[in-house]
Amino acid sequence: MSDSHLLLSIAVLGGTGKEGKGLAYRWAKAGYHVHIGSRDPEKAKAAAQELKGMLGEGSSVEGMGNPEAARQANIVVLSVPYSAHRSTLESVKEELKGKILIDVTVPLVPPKVATVQMPPAGSATQEAKEVLGDDAQICAAFQNISYEHLLDDADVQCDVLVTGTSKEARAEAIKLVEAAGLKGWDAGPIENSVVVEGMTSVLIGINKKYGSTHAGIKITGISK
């Protein structure tokens, strides 16, 4: 475990859901201190206990309400259904000032989840920027990774595209991608998040058509 792991704590807002819980599992396993956030603190505590049972002794996972989790963490990850996206951001806006937010949210609109349906802001991540303004650095990442991959200890043969408001923020997000055992790529400014988020609906459609749950993306032709 490196010193940076000892100093860095991560809040996963929506960490009681499948994707958020999978990310929390990966980071706690890598040695980070993880705060599971939820609108219901009791659900967050239950999810934290579940992860501790999976990880064993020495893991550092705590459950609490979203505002407290965001306040205590150095970096905040938002993994909630799109229907709760704006309200969750507004509830933690003050706690996010001066921090990096990694937005995992995809603007899926049931029942047509295999059809790309982007919000007026362009993407959920751009919508987060509308809510937070310049008080936080914002990245999009992990939209194209199945939670089944995250809760499996096997190597993941999928890449993660990272977009965001600055090169520095994207670099920090990529460090967390790599800590989760995945390969991350700097995919440019936050405006490009429309492509990353929209790809999720495409992958859902591919999964449905070909009877899978694990479709992902991989960048080829580049040595890294």
What is the pLDDT confidence band of residue 224, given thresholds at 50, 70 and 90? low
Q: Do β-strands 137-140 and 159-164 pair in parallel, antiparallel, or remain unpaired?
A: antiparallel
Is residue 138 pLDDT above 70, yes or no? yes
Is there a contact between 37 and 13 (Cβ–Cβ < 8 Å)?
A: yes
Contacts of 87 (CB under 8 A, 6+ apart): none
Q: Rounded to the nearest 10 degrees, what angle do helices 193-210 and 124-132 cross at?
A: 140
SS3 at position 28: helix
| Cβ atoms of residues 37 and 60 within 8 Å | no
Segment 52-87, tens digit of pLDDT: 999 988 889 999 999 999 999 999 999 999 999 999
Domain spans in the chain, listed from the N-terminal domain onward:
3-210
Query: What is the fold, at CATH topology level, of the domain defined by 3-210?
Result: Rossmann fold (3.40.50)
State the amino acid at position 89 in one-letter form.
L
Token pair, residue 106, equals 């995809």
pLDDT value, residue 102: 98
